[in-house]
Amino acid sequence: MRRVALALIPVLLAGAGLAACADSPQPRTLSVVASWSTDGEGDTEQERRRSSEAGPFLAVLDAFTKESKIRINYQGTRDVSQVLRSGIDRGRPPDVAVLPRLNDLKTYVQSGDLYPLDDVLVPAEQPGLARQLLQLTPPRGTHARVYGLSVAVHAKSLVWYRTDAPGGPTVRRPPATWAELVALTRDIEARGGVPWCLGMGAQPQSGWPGTDWIEDILLHRPGGQIVYQRWAAGHQAWSSREVREAWQAWG
Q: Is the dihedral of CA 41, 80, 102, 10 positive or negative?
A: negative
How many CB atoms neighbour CB 235 within 10 A?
A: 9
Lowest-confidence segment of 30-39, 70-79, 200-209 by average pLDDT: 200-209
Which part of the chain has CATH 3.40.190? 5-134
217-236 per-position pLDDT tens digit: 999 888 989 999 899 888 99
Percent of the chain with pLDDT over 90: 12
Q: Of 80-84, 200-204, 242-246, which range is least confident?
A: 200-204
Structural fold of domain 5-134:
D-Maltodextrin-Binding Protein; domain 2 (3.40.190)
Section 172-189 average pLDDT: 87
Mean pLDDT of 103-118: 81
For the CA atoms of 143, 92, 26, 16, the dihedral, rounded to the nearest 10 degrees, stands at -30
For 45-62, the pLDDT digits (tens) are: 888 888 998 898 899 899
pTM for the model stands at 0.61
Name the helix (H) or strand (E) containing 71.
strand 71-76
pLDDT at 20 over 50: no
Show the 3-state SS of 96-118: EEECCCHHHHHHHHHCCCECCCC
DSSP SS3 for 30:
strand
Answer yes or no: is pLDDT of 41 > 60.
Answer: yes
pLDDT-derived band at 17 (thresholds 50, 70, 90) equals: very low
**What local confidence, expressed as pLDDT, does residue 18 receive?**
36
pLDDT digit string (tens) for 149-159?
Answer: 775 666 777 78
Mean pLDDT on 170-177: 82
Strand partners of residue 7: 98
Q: What is the CA radius of gyration of the chain?
A: 22
pLDDT class of 23 with cuts at 50, 70, 90: very low
Q: What percent of the chain has pLDDT over 70?
A: 72
Grade residue 131 by pLDDT with cuts at 50, 70 and 90. Answer: low
Split at pLDDT 50, 70, 90, the class of 19 is very low
Q: What is the reported pLDDT for 43?
A: 87
Highest-pLDDT range among 7-11, 173-177, 205-209, 223-227: 223-227
